[in-house]
Amino acid sequence: MLSNEIQKGQNNMCVVAGNAPSLAEIDYNRLPLDYDVFRCNQFYFEDKYYLGKKVKFAFANPFVLFEQCYTYKTLLYKNEYEIENIVVSDFNLSCADSFYLKYLQVFDETLRGSRFISKLKDFYTFVRYNELYHNKRITSGIYMCAFAVALGYKEIYITGIDLYSAKEAYAFQAKKPDLLKILPNFNSIPDSCHTKEIDIKALEFLAKHYDIKFYSISPNSPINEHIQLANSKNNTTFIVKEKTRDSIKDMLIPSIEAYENLNHGIDSMLHYNHVEVQDKISQQEAIQAVWHEIDKYKKPLRNNAVYRLFSDIIKLPKDISKYIKGSKLRKKKKKKKRGGGGGGTHSIIGYIMFIIENAISCIKYTYNFYNNISIREQ
């Protein structure tokens, strides 16, 4: 269950898991016997339960918090994962956390990461300084490490944090359809604000200032150049379980009504979160908007004299046919009233007059058209 009360493991050990390739290469013999699990972002994209179903803390980026919370809670309610706490990876800076700060009261059951990391005064100053003045931001994996330190964990076992040095960025296929609807610019290349150097500095800072021991549990991870590979604990109890075919492996998109609830009483400009299928207007209004856009391009053509001339000429045979049918009906009615006879000459004259009127109309259109052209040329 999701909780606002945090209870740390008794033995001060935890596993912090990023989503890089080494996540799928854990040496389970190196796992401690008792530990809490920290996961982040789209960890549920994984093909197997690399660290089991129990998640003490699930971290989400502020700019997709609404969608990520929806996904995390659905994972919980469907018993796919046992997520105990959701944490927003914020820095309490408007430049990085504007969405979260705007909708703060909506996420009151979500743990605010900055409130815990701020307890590490020197580290908090260090990361905010780099974020604010140098646009350098620690990755989610390092953020989780700092959060663990703030809670009092002393031994932190790391996997899936490869410092952007592995061939692939993720241990799974990351570009999923709904994720790309929410984040169209998502790619496997790290953002310019994330660098290997800032992550290493942050880890060294935590180890030095707070007497923390970091260990790797993935023998092939590039992070092993900077932290020690954990000794074998002979943990033979862990079994990696496969996921079912219908497991959630994409970020879930809330309904339009959910987005409206999110914005109720906050802002008329709804946060529809870059989602094409969750546009700012309903589907019906979207269709109307498309037709309005089409009509905008059709309007100049409708006002064009040549277009109107040919339009009338095309309609002429149909209009004549209607006129003849109408004349015949009138003729029949007159015969019934008068007892038959008469009306033939009037019908022919009317037909001729109709043609003359349309011809005159066509000539007028043509005259106006050429007259307009001559005026423009002058």
- 114 near 90, Cβ under 8 Å? yes
Contacts of 93 (CB under 8 A, 6+ apart): 128, 131, 132
Q: Which helix (H) or strand (E) holds 60?
A: strand 54-60
Q: How far apart are CA 144 and CA 158, in angstroms?
A: 10
Tokens of 336: 């019934």
Helix H or strand E segment including 65: helix 65-77
Distance CA 307, CA 78 (A): 61
| Residues in CB range of 312: below 8 A, 6 or more apart | 358, 361, 362, 365
Helix axes 283-302, 305-338, angle to 10 degrees: 90
- Buried-exposed string 26-45: b where 16+ CB fall within 10 A, e elsewhere: bbbebbbeebbbbbbbbbbb
Q: Enter the DSSP assignment of 157.
A: E
Q: By the 8 A CB rule, do 141 and 161 touch? A: yes
- Nearest Cα residue to 70 out of 248, 270, 269: 248
User: Catalytic amino acids?
Assistant: 137, 164, 170, 194
Structure tokens at 290: 């498309």
| Strand order across the beta sheet in which 54-60 lies | 111-112, 82-88, 54-60, 36-40, 13-17, 155-159, 213-216, 228-229
Measured CA to CA in angstroms, residue 73 lies from 16, 42, 66, 138 at distances of 20, 13, 11, 26
Helix ranges (H only) for 211-343 are 256-263, 283-302, 305-338
DSSP state of 156: E
Residue entry with tokens 């269709």: 287
